[in-house]
């Protein structure tokens, strides 16, 4: 048994359960035609249009629209409140199958657009907070959101691609477009009436082309969004690397300070040894050595910092380096020559 | 000699060994036709369909299906338990070659899908554990699994692509589709009987198109999965970099502490020298100097930390830096001016 | 009501408001034709060319050009000062619709080119300052500019693509090109007059092809620019990494110095213990130990530095390492054997 | 003068030197036809097939195969030992030009496959050793090998692409295929004899298609290999980053230890000052202070380590941080509040 | 006024200035035909071939070649010394327009090839020096060269693509090829004479196809070069990362040494306190404690180093870690349990 909802061109809606085989016989279709094996399909069979758009399975006949298996898909609201009036409206001078196809394809494109509208702002928000140059380390919950949205975006991209390919396949073959114009083959009277100055097949092509181009626009948006993610990731990496370099320079500057203190502290340690240095009794010596320790380490540090400043500007470094070596001639045996 | 298994349309299965040349004569084929040089091929020759799907080599005649070299491929189970009943079932009103092709292509697509179903959850598991923001360093065994699955995925992608191209080549040429409808040419009686209201070539096209689209869906899935791997790798790198930055800041904060301790420890070292400082006899001096050492290093550390905090917020740093310099005017000769 | 500006072939401009339905009746168009659902479209309907180029919506008839909804788009200046004279100029021997299409497509291409001319120099400037090898950390405001421009570039790329596809669709179908030659169908006298030795359809193809190729050139430029961004990002990363490696080596060299000072400082600390070493009374011992401390740490540092220098040249390291070990045989129990 | 080797259909091989112009006259070709300007070409001219496959230049006539400029290419072995017998074998019921083309195309595909078989295992070996998670730094000689093989792979990819395009160009135009069936046009008697039930053009298409598909398979393999290189590089980077993070944590843990020792060492330094602390005479004080120094630094270290452990698990850190602050209320003025 | 150089088929060269309008009238062309709006174009108009190859603008008539605006382009040398003799040579049995087109296209391809020959070796040199595993930090001037060449390569790629597309557009339409054979339409006598056994259109196709394939080869080369740049960048990053890891390990090993020294130095500091330890008088205690300090720090260092060695081999670490903990049972309250 299969649940189905029936919309006729006056906007009447009836829903009932029917045996699958009965349905086949009624529409003269074969079992194979209603297997709906692909997530998106749109074919004409025996004066019916059989289509599936993800969860929505429908059969369009010249006079009615049948939606199959409609329960539990969250489509009830749309079916009753939007689809029925849309099918009944006479603004369209074209036959019923056009109105039905138009309504369903519009629903599909709207669904795709709605998904993009959910993913896009979430993505932009996340990216904006991740590329913020002030942050030292990426917020991990944001990364999780990014990954989730990235996955949704990929799935959306695939669905748009599949939808576009389904339409393109039809647009590429004029025969299929002809077949989709049901009224032309089944109802000569209505056909002639409606076709004053209008070529049904051309109208059908326009209708499909319209939704194809809307899907194309959505596809372009997702592509742009993917590009933005890539660019943002590069910026995030540059940011994190920059922070690291800044911290590394600070750390190096501190290391230079600590080194200077150690170097001159060694003098203090030397005088702290229980060994006789013959200076013990002179009170000025204490202040002299203490002052030398502090001033000396300060000056060496200053020298090291300015060395660092120049070292990181590659073009000047070699020259400066020689000057530094000359200045420091008095410990020529020291390790400086390995410095570079 | 070549082993072969013979399925007829009543579901009878016989298997035997035969000389290759006998086989050729029986089917009026040429040696070249049975070389099976490509991993995937599907051609019509002299009222036979000769096909190879990886390890499965088969010949479809209007009345029977011959599976060649079937031993040692792990296909016995499928051949006997699934293929035979499928070929015998009369649900299909179409001739035998349709049933045979349907069964074999379905087996092929199922095999591809099964491979994806093995790779996908393993991949998702691995990625999920690798992007976990808590981990400091990637688990190497997971990386190995990732690499293995990535390789399997590439191979699967190639196989899907080859399968799709094989079908597409046929779908693009109506003549080949016609040739594949064996009954049409060999058995006019059956043909007329079965073709009431049915165009054999169109049915064949539908059959092949169906499997083409299933392969397309699998291809889309593998593409999404590849995209997910790329995105996850970016997130892993951002994670690792973030951890590093956090540790670097902690390390820098500790360095600042150590530097402060060294700086004020130098006072202690100075007073520890065996030199006369004239303060030796006053007991309060001990507490004064000790307190100054601890409090002083604590305060300098605090000052450095807040300097760091502001330094990493680029917009505020320059201003703050000037304030810091003014505050610290009393060691104007100190290395601070090289700090930035 | 809909505002519209009317240009005739004499260069007269009139602007007024009109009901939409009146407009339809006047031009015998249908409501559907003027929905302008896509951002870029160019179609022929009932001897009118209906086109939309982003904000510019226009209808070309054989004798006039109607620009719809022209208010508030910033187009007034162009419409009055440039478009009108261009339409009135008689340099073109071809009918009015050619002049109108030419003017509008040229405006579109100029708009696209202007956008590229804004993005390109900003981008090049930003990239040049970011790849400067002297900078230690990327300027974050520049990164922001880079990201903004990158986004603009993606949008521009999409717009160029959409414009190219719109033209290509027409260029691929000779019938549509024929339909675009309005005068051919509506004004036989003018047609014959103007078509001396000229094929209208061919001229139209040339006109469209010309703008297609201009758009193609713009597309090539954006592609080159995107490539340049990618290359520059790689260079930025190499720069930042290089800086980090240089700082790391300096830091390592300082660590080696500090280690040497600690090692030999330990001697000082040992002699500073309140324990009897029996050397206390000899004044030369003080100078000997102090000298040993300073010289020893200097020499060990020097040795470590040259070890580092060789260690970073991988091919020489193992040999040198053995030599170092031999030299240092006297602390064979020391941790050096774990060094590598 | 041009050296040439002549193979006839009986398998006789003769080689001699001839003037270029004589060759042209003999085969009624033009100078332009034998310029061999492209590395890979296959054309039919005046009942000859003129082809070049990299270094191999050949002319196929209905009765013989001429290999030009065959010296110094390392092809002698193949020409004499393999090509001659292959051309003489009568297993093929088809005319001579089929045998000749078959032999040459097979040689070409074998050459391409051989190149892949050299690159592939070398690449896999190198990658396997580079992605080994135990290695701390990539072996540079391996990187060199990787780069070399990567380059070879790109060249191979181009050659396969060029070969495929050469064949595809012919397969797309039925006229060229017809022209390649030399016997059909020159030797009606042989043609009729051999063409019993065989369509020469179709056989030629099959022959070319066969080699096209073999090239396609090689192309798929190189693409997979390129993908594997990309994936492996990502894994190498994750490995190196992970190692760095692990070392950084160890380094940070050691820094914490050193900081703790410095902090409590300051107490020792304080008591080492030559200032009167009034505790000098009590022997227990020595042990108390010493114990406090060691135990205190151990405990502070432990506390810092557990802080680190929690800090790297982001979700718990803030809470823990407050607890830590409360615990340490007694130095509320200390720098901890800047810690985060 | 427009400068032009005129080459006739006898090799005579004349150059003069002429009004643009005169030129149009002389050749019966329209103003539009000589606007040369695209950087590369090749069209047939009114028995002339009008072409532009970047700076070279030329008109080919059945009897002469006109090069326009030839001054200041650096082409004079080529025009006079190479083009004139080439046009005059009678080696080609084909009419003049073939010789002219041949010469110009060959010049264009040679220009493209020359640009590649400038970029390629510079690029290979730069890459080779950048991937040198010995370098610790990338040479920034090399990076600049890399970026410059990368940009040139992109531009070259675009120019090759544009050239290929221009030719492909002609090759795809047989009518345009026919139009390019000027002599066929203008000079029946020469046509019949020259066309003995030769199809002009086919010759034209061969000529264009030849240059198309040469451009294709250049395009393949640039693609390979781009691939090499990408691969090299990966290797550069792996190199820099490896260097950093090696330095980090050295730094960590030194930190371990410093930590050991600090730990055992604390003993010395403790004995240096002015507190009574009751060991003061025993001379052996000095040597005992001093020895313990040095040996102890050495042994702890060694232990830490071997711990590090094992820690970086992940599979063994956990086990070893437990052993280490057992060994060190006596400070069970110590921070080691937070180590991992």
Per-residue model confidence as pLDDT tens digits over A63-90: 889 998 888 778 888 888 888 888 887 6
- Which phi and psi angles does A51 have, rounded to 5°? -140, 150
Half-sphere exposure of E166 (CA within 13 A, CB side): 25
| Interface probe with D: pick from E174, E274, E278, most Cβ of D within 10 Å | E274
Contact E335 D297 (CB under 8 A): no
| Interface probe with B: pick from D113, D237, D274, most Cβ of B within 10 Å | D274
- pLDDT, one tens digit for every residue, chain D (340 residues): 788 888 888 878 888 888 888 888 888 887 777 888 888 999 888 889 999 998 899 999 988 899 988 887 788 888 888 888 888 876 666 788 888 999 999 999 999 999 999 999 999 999 988 888 777 777 778 888 899 999 999 999 999 999 999 999 999 988 899 889 888 878 777 666 665 667 788 889 989 999 999 999 999 999 999 999 999 999 999 988 988 888 888 888 888 888 888 888 888 888 888 877 777 777 788 888 888 888 888 888 888 888 877 776 543 333 333 334 334 333 333 444 444 4
Lowest mean pLDDT across A70-79, A242-251, B163-172, D103-112: A70-79
pLDDT at residue C339 above 70? Answer: no
Contact A285 B275 (CB under 8 A): yes
E264 chain-C contacts, CB cut-off 8 A: 266
Cβ(C38)–Cβ(A217) under 8 Å?
Answer: yes
C174-226 confidence digits (pLDDT tens)? 889 988 988 887 877 766 666 566 778 888 998 999 999 999 999 999 999 99
Closest-CA residue in chain B for D237?
A: B237
CA distance E273 to chain C (A): 7
Cβ(B69)–Cβ(B58) under 8 Å?
Answer: no
What ipTM score was computed for the predicted complex, to two decimals?
A: 0.81
Whole-number pLDDT of residue E159: 95
Whole-number pLDDT of residue E105: 95
Contact C245 E136 (CB under 8 A): yes
Of the candidates E224, E248, E314, which has its C-beta nearest D154's C-beta?
E224
Of the candidates A237, A261, A306, which has its C-beta nearest B262's C-beta?
A261
Half-sphere exposure of B2 (CA within 13 A, CB side): 16
Q: Are residues A126 and A206 in the same domain?
A: yes
| Residue D82 resides in a domain | no
pLDDT at residue A142 above 80? Answer: yes
The segment with the largest mean pLDDT, out of B53-62, B78-87, C222-231, C331-340, is C222-231
Which chains reach chain A with 3 or more Cβ–Cβ distances below 8 angstroms? B, C
Of the candidates A39, A136, A305, which has its C-beta nearest B335's C-beta?
A305
Q: Are residues C70 and C102 in the same domain?
A: no
pLDDT at residue C315 above 60? Answer: no
| Residue D120 resides in a domain | yes
Provide the residue range defining the domain that includes B330. Answer: 276-339
Mean pLDDT computed over B71-76: 80
Whole-number pLDDT of residue B50: 92
Of the candidates D154, D294, D308, which has its C-beta nearest E266's C-beta?
D294
Handedness of CA A303, A304, A305, A309 (dihedral sign): positive
Of the candidates C144, C244, C293, which has its C-beta nearest A244's C-beta?
C244
Please give the structure tokens belonging to residue B127: 């990625």
- In terms of DSSP bridges, do strands D13-18 and D40-45 run parallel, antiparallel, or are they unpaired? unpaired
Q: Are residues C293 and C233 in the same domain?
A: no
User: Angle of helix C200-272 relative to helix A283-311, nearest 10 degrees?
Assistant: 160
| Residue B153 resides in a domain | yes
A:B CB pairs within 8 Å: 183
Closest-CA residue in chain A for C306?
A: A338
pLDDT at residue C318 above 50? Answer: no
Q: Are residues C164 and C47 in the same domain?
A: no
C-alpha to C-alpha distance for C168 and C176, rounded to whole angstroms:
11
Higher pLDDT, D78 or C32: D78
Closest-CA residue in chain A for B278?
A: A283
| Residue D220 resides in a domain | yes
Element (H, E) at D143: helix D140-171
C-alpha to C-alpha distance for A287 and A283, rounded to whole angstroms:
7
Which chains reach chain C with 3 or more Cβ–Cβ distances below 8 angstroms? A, E
| Residue A80 resides in a domain | no
Helices (H), B131-199: 140-171, 174-180, 182-186, 188-194
Q: Are residues E35 and E102 in the same domain?
A: no
Whole-number pLDDT of residue D286: 83
Closest-CA residue in chain B for A161?
A: B220
| Interface probe with E: pick from D139, D147, D176, most Cβ of E within 10 Å | D147
C-alpha to C-alpha distance for A331 and E48, rounded to whole angstroms:
83
Which chains reach chain E with 3 or more Cβ–Cβ distances below 8 angstroms? C, D
Q: Are residues E108 and E239 in the same domain?
A: yes
Percentage of chain A surpassing pLDDT 90? Answer: 29
Phi-psi region of A169 (alpha: psi -120 to 50; beta: other; left: phi over 0): alpha
Of the candidates A242, A258, A334, which has its C-beta nearest C138's C-beta?
A242
Q: Are residues A104 and A213 in the same domain?
A: yes
Of the candidates E134, E236, E286, which has its C-beta nearest C276's C-beta?
E286
Order the strands of the A2-8 sheet from edge to edge. A13-18, A2-8, A64-68, A56-60, A48-53, A40-45
Lowest mean pLDDT across B85-99, C141-155, C199-213: B85-99
C-alpha to C-alpha distance for C267 and C265, rounded to whole angstroms:
5
Mean pLDDT computed over B302-322: 61
| Residue C131 resides in a domain | yes
Domain boundary pick from C75, C108, C134? C75
Which chains reach chain B with 3 or more Cβ–Cβ distances below 8 angstroms? A, D
Order the strands of the D64-68 sheet from edge to edge. D13-18, D2-8, D64-68, D56-60, D48-53, D40-45
Higher pLDDT, C329 or E339: E339
Of the candidates C210, C241, C249, which has its C-beta nearest E237's C-beta?
C241
Q: Are residues B49 and B150 in the same domain?
A: no
Q: How many CB atoms lie within 10 A of CB C204?
A: 24
pLDDT at residue B335 above 60? Answer: no
Whole-number pLDDT of residue A195: 55
CA distance D135 to chain E (A): 8
Q: CB-based contacts of D68: which residues, under 8 Å, 6+ apart?
A: D2, D3, D4, D34, D57, D58, D59
| Interface probe with D: pick from E245, E258, E293, E317, most Cβ of D within 10 Å | E245
C-alpha to C-alpha distance for B254 and A14, rounded to whole angstroms:
76
Contact C285 A275 (CB under 8 A): yes
Cβ(B24)–Cβ(B34) under 8 Å?
Answer: yes
C233-283 confidence digits (pLDDT tens)? 999 999 889 888 888 888 888 888 888 888 888 888 888 888 777 777 777
Contact A286 B270 (CB under 8 A): yes
Q: What is the CATH number of the domain that holds C51?
A: 2.40.128.330
D265 chain-B contacts, CB cut-off 8 A: 265
Cβ(C247)–Cβ(A245) under 8 Å?
Answer: yes
Which residue's entry shows tokens 């299969």?
A2
E334 chain-D contacts, CB cut-off 8 A: 298, 301-302
E273 chain-D contacts, CB cut-off 8 A: 268, 271-272, 286, 289-290
Which residue's entry shows tokens 């020359």?
E114
Contact C311 E250 (CB under 8 A): yes
D271 chain-E contacts, CB cut-off 8 A: 273-275
Q: CB-based contacts of C296: which residues, under 8 Å, 6+ apart?
A: C260, C263, C264, C267
- pLDDT, one tens digit for every residue, chain E (340 residues): 788 888 888 878 888 888 888 888 888 887 777 888 888 999 888 889 999 998 899 999 988 899 988 887 788 888 888 888 888 876 666 788 888 999 999 999 999 999 999 999 999 999 988 888 777 777 778 888 999 999 999 999 999 999 999 999 999 988 899 889 888 878 777 666 665 667 788 889 989 999 999 999 999 999 999 999 999 999 999 988 988 888 888 888 888 888 888 888 888 888 888 877 777 777 788 888 888 888 888 888 888 888 877 776 543 333 333 334 334 333 334 444 444 4
Please give the structure tokens belonging to residue D288: 């108390």
Whole-number pLDDT of residue E81: 85
Q: Are residues B67 and B103 in the same domain?
A: no
pLDDT at residue C314 above 70? Answer: no
| Residue B85 resides in a domain | no
CA distance A323 to chain C (A): 18
B228 chain-A contacts, CB cut-off 8 A: 150-151, 154
Residues in chain B: 340
Q: Are residues C131 and C213 in the same domain?
A: yes
Contact D138 E242 (CB under 8 A): yes
Closest-CA residue in chain D for B160?
A: D220
Of the candidates B147, B265, B287, which has its C-beta nearest D266's C-beta?
B265
Which residue's entry shows tokens 């190729």?
C213
In sequence order, the β-bridge partners of residue E68 are: E4, E57
Mean pLDDT computed over A134-161: 88
- Which phi and psi angles does B3 have, rounded to 5°? -80, 145
Please give the structure tokens belonging to residue B124: 């998702």
Mean pLDDT computed over B40-52: 90
| Residue D18 resides in a domain | yes
E273 chain-C contacts, CB cut-off 8 A: 274
| pLDDT band of B321, cuts 50, 70, 90 | very low
| pLDDT band of B195, cuts 50, 70, 90 | low
Contact E39 C269 (CB under 8 A): no
DSSP calls for D256-285 = HHHHHHHHHHHHHHHHHSSS--S-TT-HHH
E255 chain-D contacts, CB cut-off 8 A: 251, 254-255, 258
Contact C143 A238 (CB under 8 A): yes
Whole-number pLDDT of residue A72: 78
Contact B237 D239 (CB under 8 A): no
Domain count, chain C: 3
Residues in chain D: 340
Of the candidates E238, E272, E335, which has its C-beta nearest D272's C-beta?
E272
End-to-end CA distance of chain B: 84
C-alpha to C-alpha distance for A339 and D200, rounded to whole angstroms:
78
Q: Are residues E58 and E117 in the same domain?
A: no
Whole-number pLDDT of residue C194: 60
Of the candidates D133, D136, D301, which has its C-beta nearest E335's C-beta?
D301
C-alpha to C-alpha distance for A247 and B245, rounded to whole angstroms:
9
Cβ(E180)–Cβ(E204) under 8 Å?
Answer: yes
Q: How many CB atoms lie within 10 A of CB E132?
A: 14
- Burial (CB count <10 Å: 0-12, 13-18, 19+), residue D124: middle
Contact A248 C244 (CB under 8 A): yes
Q: Are residues B107 and B36 in the same domain?
A: no
Whole-number pLDDT of residue C150: 93
Whole-number pLDDT of residue B30: 77
Whole-number pLDDT of residue E246: 87
pLDDT at residue A316 above 50? Answer: no
Cβ(D239)–Cβ(D133) under 8 Å?
Answer: yes
Lowest mean pLDDT across A265-269, C121-125, C327-331: C327-331
| Interface probe with E: pick from D52, D161, D261, most Cβ of E within 10 Å | D261
E141 chain-C contacts, CB cut-off 8 A: 133
Which residue's entry shows tokens 């051609």?
B43
E38 chain-C contacts, CB cut-off 8 A: 210, 213-214, 217
């Amino acid at each position: 048994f299969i649940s189905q909802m029936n919309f006729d061109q006056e906007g009447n809606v009836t829903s009932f359960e029917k045996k699958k085989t009965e349905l086949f016989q009624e529409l003269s279709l074969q079992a194979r035609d209603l297997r709906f094996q692909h997530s998106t399909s749109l074919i004409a069979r025996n004066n019916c249009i059989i289509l599936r758009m993800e969860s929505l399975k429908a059969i369009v006949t010249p006079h009615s629209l049948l939606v199959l298996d409609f329960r539990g898909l969250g489509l009830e609201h749309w079916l009753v409140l939007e689809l029925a009036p849309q099918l009944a409206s006479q603004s369209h001078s074209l036959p019923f199958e056009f109105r039905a196809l138009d309504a369903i394809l519009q629903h599909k494109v709207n669904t795709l657009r709605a998904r993009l509208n959910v993913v896009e702002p979430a993505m932009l928000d996340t990216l904006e907070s991740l590329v913020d140059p002030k942050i030292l380390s990426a917020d991990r919950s944001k990364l999780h959101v990014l990954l989730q949205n990235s996955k949704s975006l990929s799935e959306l991209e695939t669905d748009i691609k599949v939808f576009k390919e389904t339409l393109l396949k039809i647009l590429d073959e004029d025969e299929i477009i002809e077949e989709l114009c049901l009224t032309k083959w089944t109802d000569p009277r209505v056909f002639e009436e409606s076709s004053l100055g209008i070529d049904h097949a051309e109208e059908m092509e326009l209708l499909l082309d319209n939704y194809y181009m809307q899907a194309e626009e959505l596809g372009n948006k997702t592509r742009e969004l993917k590009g933005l993610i890539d660019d943002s990731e590069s910026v995030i990496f540059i940011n994190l690397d920059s922070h690291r370099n800044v911290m590394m320079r600070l750390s190096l500057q501190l290391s230079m300070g600590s080194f200077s203190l150690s170097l001159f502290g060694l003098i203090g340690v030397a005088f702290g040894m229980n060994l006789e240095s013959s200076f013990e009794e002179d009170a000025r010596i204490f202040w002299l050595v203490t002052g030398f320790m502090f001033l000396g380490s300060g000056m060496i540090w200053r020298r090291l910092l300015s060395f660092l400043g120049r070292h990181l500007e590659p073009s000047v470094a070699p020259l400066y380096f020689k000057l530094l070596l000359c200045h420091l001639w008095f410990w020529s045996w020291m390790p400086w020559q390995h410095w570079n």
